[in-house]
């Protein structure tokens, strides 16, 4: 692959950052202009990403080196298929979420909206930074910036519950990144002879024993605890105290996907799939992830708070991805990367719906949702599509990525782990579809004021969730781009 | 002129101090200006020296005081490492003097010229300690530093006198230990020139194996450890920095312990030599002591409510970082320790300056001073946050880079206890600082308990009026954390080259 020098990845990260002073300066004086700036920055960012997309599909890499910080390690951007895919998902959903946020925050009369939009933009910049990182050090840099910039969003309400959630959030994310990922990274640096670059063959060569590689992998998987692999998952349900747009974009898409993205990068870029299969080092990770998939689905069933149920569902779906990449077969790795995108669209739809339900009716619990389909047909319809995609039912995109994951598991000959995928899909159905069924076919719970006709959330809330649900369906029919991009990295035929 | 730059680093604050005392009648402004000029001269001389060092063959220049050749005369040996340390001393000194102007008028109104004179003398002592190549001269300069420090600390609140007395006792014992060690060395080698002694120890195996040399080594190490407050010899430090005047702690906290760490490195590599030091049985002892210091310092810091005492215990932990790094006996660890001398100086400086502003403005010195400060003093608070993030060790600040090298050294040396202690300390720092950030972010400020006024509006305006000179100094310190962090490559390259020259 030919690599081209380009400042585009740097620009794409800078645009959201540059929007911050503008957002802060406009402030509460003119909320419409302020949100306009956010959306405009989103559109510019997306345009930049699409510009890069063409070059990447042609088989080129884009590079930009800022400065050498440690011997052999620079702050460096490098755009490849996986990075551009993730950036595309994050930047397009940022625009939709901005519109949604405007509707939601005004609908619920939240305070400190300017601060909220500012830190949101910083978070997106950090997410893009992760997507475009050219080496592990740069990845870690943006990973930590993302932890910090999302903290004020999680604690947005500022009450006791929010501060507690924020504490858990930072304790888990920073504790694991400093305690596990950092030493693992330095160990990698020593073993590789001073390189942390992402290359298909990995940087470690023959320097590790199987045992060392297994331990190192586990340190990375637990260290990037944004991926929510058990037992370092509790921050995610705790972070549900944040306003719903944060849960939607960050805790269904940006933050958690950054976690799995980092893990995928470590597997495919630092170690290299070939080395790992040679050393047979990923088995431990497979079983940890497999256990997480099953356990989180079981816990999700028992959650009555809708957002918490979605959070546990997210934990399970993230471990799908980790499990997939740890199977070390080309199709499973490709499936993992596709699932990053597919799950993003499905889960953000579900979170948008949860927020819309809260704005329109004030309901937060699954048991209150009976009969809601009559008052909010669009929202609940979108919810059904999102649930289908996350479960993997046609015609939604989730089916395709699951298909690749199962295919890869069969390739790898891991039939026990293949069974985990299937069982978990059934469990996903079990915790989602009763909600949809009840919404459309059950009467409203007793004591609810009778609702006549349609009472949806504001248009700014409903429109984005309609689009993301639509995208989930379209991805089933037109998955070509996704397949091309992931094939570039996974190297599958 | 340029060849005299090394001695100008020391002479200009020394002469400045004398000039300040001669012109004491001209008032405090004159003293302040003289001090600023003297430190600026020292800083430019230090930078010029670094420039010459980098061009010199082998990266070393020597300067013979008064033209007297060693081993009789006193010689300065300047390489990249100590010229960087002198630059740090001079710049920190300049900024602290710039910073001190507005708080000294409140805290020590009648003694301002004396304060500047002592501070300049302390700077002269510290730079001399860093540059000299003579083991006895080093002792004399350490005493100059100590005597001036006692005076500087005692200028603070009433409790400062006791804190200063504590420091006098421990400091004197430490210096005496060092002097005893030098005495033993002199008995055995007949020389006081560091390189001379190192040459003899390296060349003569019976000498290297003698108990006298070992005792000398242990005594000198113990002496230096007392002066740098290595746990459990740290007792004097937290109170000394908590009760001294703001300007004193702003300069002493970043520089004094750090310069003593450099002295330790100098004694290890310059007097006894790599082979002797790392071949001895003391490497493990030192590394375990450092580990204990890191953990203990962090835990004590966590339990303190007074802001400056808390920062004092953080320094105790950071001293452990550097001692541990130096004793990993690896190039990465030693590079980390020396780089950390600079980066820790910068971040401690930043934190003490920000805290100084906050104490100065809110009139409180406990953690509740931070309540609601993001609303009232957002800029100062941002500077504090930057310092805190660097203490935690988040990229791209310099705290991350030093942690990287230290951990790398620990792993390469197989000293896992040290690695784990570093990580634990980072986590404790994270808890420590985010606890404060949370207060500043979410709590409401209680104007009633502010010393200033019972009128909330008046109190709010007082908070906003941060003197510009204080803010500029703190802002430069905060910016330097990023600069030293992102552009560390030159620094570490120079440090490594100098270490290679010292056989590491």
Residue numbers in B near A144 (CB within 8 A): 394-395
pLDDT at A493: 37
Rounded Cα gap, residues B11 and B127, in angstroms: 9
Rounded Cα gap, residues B231 and B319, in angstroms: 9
Residue numbers in A near B492 (CB within 8 A): 71
List the A60-70 sheet strands across, edge first. A2-5, A60-70, A73-79
> Do A433 and A301 meet the contact criterion of CB atoms below 8 Å apart?
no
Closest alpha carbon within chain A to B487: A69
**Helix (H/G/I), strand (E/B), else coil: B167:** helix
**Helix (H/G/I), strand (E/B), else coil: A490:** helix
> Do A282 and A328 meet the contact criterion of CB atoms below 8 Å apart?
yes
Q: With residue B365 as reference, give the H or E element that holds it.
A: none
> Do A100 and A116 meet the contact criterion of CB atoms below 8 Å apart?
no
From the list A75, A179, A189, the residue facing B408 with the nearest CB is: A189
Cα pseudo-dihedral A77, A79, A85, A88, rounded to 10: 60
Could you list the mean pLDDT of each consecutive 10-residue stretch along chain A, which spans 493 residues?
80 88 82 85 90 84 86 88 88 87 79 83 91 91 91 84 86 91 91 84 80 90 90 86 82 86 90 85 89 92 88 91 89 88 90 87 83 84 90 87 89 87 89 87 74 75 87 87 77 44
Q: What is the DSSP letter of A267?
A: I
Give the number of other Cβ atoms within 10 Å of residue A378's Cβ: 17
Q: Which long-range contacts (CB under 8 A, 24 or more apart) does A486-489 make?
A: A486/A81, A486/A82, A486/A85, A486/A334, A486/A337, A486/A338, A487/A81, A487/A334, A488/A56, A488/A59, A488/A80, A488/A81, A488/A82, A489/A80, A489/A81, A489/A82, A489/A200, A489/A268, A489/A333, A489/A334, A489/A337
Tokens in use for B383? 């500077």
Backbone angles phi and psi of A65, in degrees to 5? -105, 125
| Mean pLDDT calculated for residue range B423-436 | 91
| Mean pLDDT calculated for residue range B314-328 | 92
Find, among A351, A225, A329, the residue nearest to A274 by Cα.
Answer: A329
Say which residues have a Cβ less than 8 Å from residue B254's Cβ, sequence separation at least 6: B92, B344, B345, B346, B348, B349, B352
Which of B65-79, B216-230, B296-310 has the lowest average pLDDT?
B65-79
**CA of A179 to nearest chain B CA: how many angstroms apart?**
6
B452 compared with A375, residue with greater pLDDT: A375
List the Cα angle B84/B402/B294 in 5-degree steps.
Answer: 110
Residue B430 and residue A175: Cβ atoms within 8 Å?
Answer: yes
228-247 in A: which are within 8 Å (CB) of B?
none
Burial A191-216 (b: 16+ CB within 10 A, else e): bbeebbbbeeebbbeeebeeeebbbb
Bridge partners for A65 per DSSP? A76
pLDDT at B445: 65
B499 interfaces chain A, CB cutoff of 8 Å: no
Residue B482 pLDDT class (50, 70, 90 cuts): very high
Residue B393 and residue A178: Cβ atoms within 8 Å?
Answer: yes
pLDDT at A224: 92
Residue numbers in B near A67 (CB within 8 A): 486-487, 489
User: How far from A65 is each of A69, A194, A266, CA to CA, in Å?
Assistant: 11, 17, 20
Rounded Cα gap, residues B145 and B139, in angstroms: 10
A111 interfaces chain B, CB cutoff of 8 Å: no
Q: Is the peptide bond before B232 cis (omega within 30 degrees of 0)?
A: yes
> Do A339 and A324 meet the contact criterion of CB atoms below 8 Å apart?
yes
Residue numbers in A near B411 (CB within 8 A): 183, 186-187, 190
Rounded Cα gap, residues A363 and A351, in angstroms: 13
Give the number of other Cβ atoms within 10 Å of residue B438's Cβ: 18
Tokens in use for A180? 């596990």
| Mean pLDDT calculated for residue range B452-474 | 68
A473 interfaces chain B, CB cutoff of 8 Å: no
From the list B423, B441, B442, the residue facing A179 with the nearest CB is: B423
Residue pointed to by tokens 């397949």 = A483
**CA of B485 to nearest chain A CA: how many angstroms apart?**
8
ipTM: 0.86
Closest alpha carbon within chain A to B413: A190
β A73-79/A2-5 pair status: unpaired
Q: What is the DSSP letter of A365?
A: B
From the list A69, A148, A183, the residue facing B423 with the nearest CB is: A183
Residue B181 pLDDT class (50, 70, 90 cuts): very high
Residue B404 and residue A70: Cβ atoms within 8 Å?
Answer: yes
List the Cα angle A359/A362/A365 in 5-degree steps.
Answer: 120
Backbone angles phi and psi of B111, in degrees to 5? -120, 25
Cα pseudo-dihedral A474, A475, A481, A487, rounded to 10: -160
Residue numbers in A near B392 (CB within 8 A): 174, 178
**Helix (H/G/I), strand (E/B), else coil: A114:** helix
DSSP A128-197: HHHHHBSBHHHHHHHHHHHHHHHHHHHTTT-SHHHHHHHHHHHHHHHHHIIIIIHHHHHHHHHHTTS--B
Residue numbers in B near A146 (CB within 8 A): none
Closest alpha carbon within chain A to B414: A187
Residue A170 and residue B430: Cβ atoms within 8 Å?
Answer: yes
| Mean pLDDT calculated for residue range B246-274 | 90
A141 interfaces chain B, CB cutoff of 8 Å: yes
Tokens in use for A474? 């379209």
List the Cα angle A315/A341/A439 in 5-degree steps.
Answer: 65
**CA of B66 to nearest chain A CA: how many angstroms apart?**
42
Q: Which long-range contacts (CB under 8 A, 24 or more apart) does A112-116 make?
A: A112/A156, A112/A158, A113/A28, A113/A31, A113/A34, A114/A23, A114/A24, A114/A26, A114/A27, A114/A28, A114/A34, A115/A152, A115/A156, A116/A153, A116/A156, A116/A243
Residue B407 and residue A183: Cβ atoms within 8 Å?
Answer: yes
Bridge partners for A197 per DSSP? A135
Residue A75 and residue B396: Cβ atoms within 8 Å?
Answer: yes
Rounded Cα gap, residues B252 and B153, in angstroms: 9
Rounded Cα gap, residues B207 and A244, in angstroms: 74
β A73-79/A60-70 pair status: antiparallel
A71 interfaces chain B, CB cutoff of 8 Å: yes
pLDDT at B322: 93
| Mean pLDDT calculated for residue range B165-177 | 91
Residue B395 and residue A163: Cβ atoms within 8 Å?
Answer: no
pTM metric for this prediction = 0.90
> Do B217 and B280 meet the contact criterion of CB atoms below 8 Å apart?
yes
Percent of chain B at pLDDT > 90 equals 45
Rounded Cα gap, residues A192 and A189, in angstroms: 5
Backbone angles phi and psi of B422, in degrees to 5? -60, -45
β B75-79/B60-64 pair status: antiparallel
pLDDT, tens digit, 9 for 90 and up, residues B214-233:
999 999 999 999 988 888 88
Rounded Cα gap, residues A303 and A309, in angstroms: 5
B106 compared with B221, residue with greater pLDDT: B221
B330 interfaces chain A, CB cutoff of 8 Å: no
Percent of chain B at pLDDT > 70 equals 96
Residue numbers in A near B389 (CB within 8 A): 148
Rounded Cα gap, residues B504 and B501, in angstroms: 7
A317 interfaces chain B, CB cutoff of 8 Å: no
């Amino acid at each position: 692959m030919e690599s081209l020098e380009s400042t585009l990845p740097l620009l794409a990260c800078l645009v959201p950052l540059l929007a911050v002073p503008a957002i802060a300066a406009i402030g509460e004086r003119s909320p419409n202009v302020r949100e306009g700036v956010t959306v405009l920055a989103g559109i510019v960012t997306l345009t930049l990403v699409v510009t890069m997309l063409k070059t990447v599909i042609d088989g080129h890499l884009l590079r930009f080196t800022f400065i050498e910080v440690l011997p052999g390690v620079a702050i460096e951007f490098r755009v490849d298929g996986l990075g551009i895919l993730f950036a595309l998902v994050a930047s397009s959903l940022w625009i939709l979420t901005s519109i949604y946020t405007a509707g939601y925050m005004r609908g619920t009369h939240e305070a400190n909206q300017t601060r909220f939009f500012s830190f949101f933009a910083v978070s997106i910049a950090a997410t893009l930074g992760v997507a475009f990182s050219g080496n592990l050090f740069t990845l870690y840099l943006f990973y930590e910036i993302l932890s910090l910039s999302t903290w004020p969003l999680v604690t947005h309400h500022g009450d006791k519950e929010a501060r507690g959630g924020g504490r858990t959030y930072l304790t888990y994310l920073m504790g694991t990144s400093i305690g596990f990922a950092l030493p693992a990274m330095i160990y990698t640096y020593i073993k590789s002879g001073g390189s942390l670059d992402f290359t298909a063959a990995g940087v470690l060569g023959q320097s590790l024993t199987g045992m060392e590689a297994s331990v190192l992998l586990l340190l990375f998987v637990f260290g990037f605890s944004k991926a929510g692999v058990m037992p370092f998952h509790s921050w995610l349900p705790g972070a549900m105290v944040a306003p719903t747009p944060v849960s939607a974009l960050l805790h269904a898409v940006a933050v958690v996907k950054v976690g799995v993205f980092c893990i995928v990068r470590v597997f495919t870029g630092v170690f290299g799939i070939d080395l790992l299969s040679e050393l047979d080092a990923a088995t431990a990770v497979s079983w940890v992830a497999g256990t997480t998939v099953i356990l989180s689905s079981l816990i999700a069933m028992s959650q009555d708070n809708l957002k918490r149920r979605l959070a546990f569902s997210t934990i399970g779906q993230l471990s799908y991805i980790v499990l997939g990449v740890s199977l070390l077969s080309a199709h499973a790795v490709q499936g993992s990367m596709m699932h990053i995108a597919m799950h993003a669209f499905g889960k953000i739809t579900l979170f948008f719906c949860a927020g819309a339900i809260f704005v329109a009716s004030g309901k937060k619990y699954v048991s209150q949702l009976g009969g809601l389909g009559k008052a909010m047909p669009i929202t609940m319809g979108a919810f059904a599509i999102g649930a289908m995609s996350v479960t993997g039912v046609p015609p939604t995109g989730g089916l395709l990525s699951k298909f690749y994951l199962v295919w890869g598991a069969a390739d790898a000959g891991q039939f026990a782990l293949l069974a985990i995928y299937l069982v978990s899909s059934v469990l996903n159905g079990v915790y989602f579809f009763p909600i949809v069924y009840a919404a459309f076919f059950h009467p409203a719970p007793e004591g609810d004021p009778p609702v006549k006709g349609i009472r949806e959330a504001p248009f700014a809330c409903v429109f984005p969730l309609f689009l993301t649900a639509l995208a989930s369906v379209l991805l089933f029919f037109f998955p070509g781009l996704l397949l091309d991009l992931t094939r570039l990295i996974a190297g599958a035929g | 002129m340029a060849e005299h730059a090394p001695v100008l680093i020391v002479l200009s604050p020394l002469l400045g101090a004398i000039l300040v005392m001669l012109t004491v009648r001209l008032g405090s402004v004159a003293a302040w200006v003289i001090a600023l000029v003297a430190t600026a001269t020292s800083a430019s001389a230090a930078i010029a020296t670094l420039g010459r060092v980098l061009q010199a063959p082998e990266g070393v220049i020597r300067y013979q005081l008064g033209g007297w050749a060693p081993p009789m005369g006193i010689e300065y040996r300047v390489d990249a490492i100590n010229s960087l340390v002198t630059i740090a001393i001079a710049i920190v000194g300049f900024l602290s003097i710039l910073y001190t102007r507005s708080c000294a008028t409140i805290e020590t109104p009648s003694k301002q010229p004396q304060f500047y004179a002592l501070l300049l003398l302390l700077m002269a002592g510290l730079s001399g300690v860093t540059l000299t190549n003579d083991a006895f001269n080093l002792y004399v300069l350490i005493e100059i530093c100590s005597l001036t420090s006692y005076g500087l600390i005692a200028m603070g609140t009433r409790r400062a006198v006791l804190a200063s007395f504590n420091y006098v006792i421990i400091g004197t014992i430490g210096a005496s230990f060092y002097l005893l060690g030098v005495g033993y060395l002199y008995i055995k080698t007949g020389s006081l020139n560091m390189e001379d002694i190192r040459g003899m120890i390296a060349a003569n195996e019976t000498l290297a194996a003698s108990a006298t040399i070992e005792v000398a080594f242990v005594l000198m190490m113990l002496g230096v450890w007392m002066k740098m407050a290595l746990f459990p010899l740290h007792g004097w430090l937290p109170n000394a920095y908590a009760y001294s005047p703001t300007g004193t702690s702003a300069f002493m906290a970043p520089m004094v312990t750090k310069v003593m760490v450099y002295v330790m490195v100098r004694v290890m590599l310059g007097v006894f030599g790599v082979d002797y030091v790392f071949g001895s049985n003391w490497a493990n002892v030192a590394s375990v002591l450092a580990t204990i210091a890191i953990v203990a310092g962090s835990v004590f810091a966590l339990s303190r409510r007074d802001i400056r005492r808390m920062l004092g215990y953080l320094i105790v932990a950071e001293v452990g970082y550097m001692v541990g790094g130096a004793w990993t006996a690896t190039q990465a660890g030693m590079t980390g320790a020396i780089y950390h001398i600079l980066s820790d100086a910068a971040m401690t400086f930043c934190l003490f300056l920000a805290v100084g502003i906050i104490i100065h403005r809110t009139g409180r010195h406990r953690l509740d001073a931070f309540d609601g400060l993001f609303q009232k003093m957002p800029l100062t608070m941002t500077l504090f946050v930057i310092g805190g993030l660097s203490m935690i060790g988040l990229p791209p600040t310099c705290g991350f880079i030093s942690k990287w090298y230290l951990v790398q050294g620990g792993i390469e040396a197989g000293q896992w206890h040290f690695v784990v202690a570093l990580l634990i300390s980072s986590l404790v720092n994270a808890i420590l600082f985010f606890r404060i950030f949370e207060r500043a972010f979410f709590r409401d400020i209680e104007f009633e308990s502010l010393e200033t006024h019972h009128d909330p509006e008046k109190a709010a305006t007082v908070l906003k009026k941060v003197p510009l000179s204080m803010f500029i100094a703190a802002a430069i310190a905060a910016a330097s954390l990023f600069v030293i962090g992102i552009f560390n490559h030159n620094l570490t390259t120079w440090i490594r080259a100098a270490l290679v020259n010292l056989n590491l």
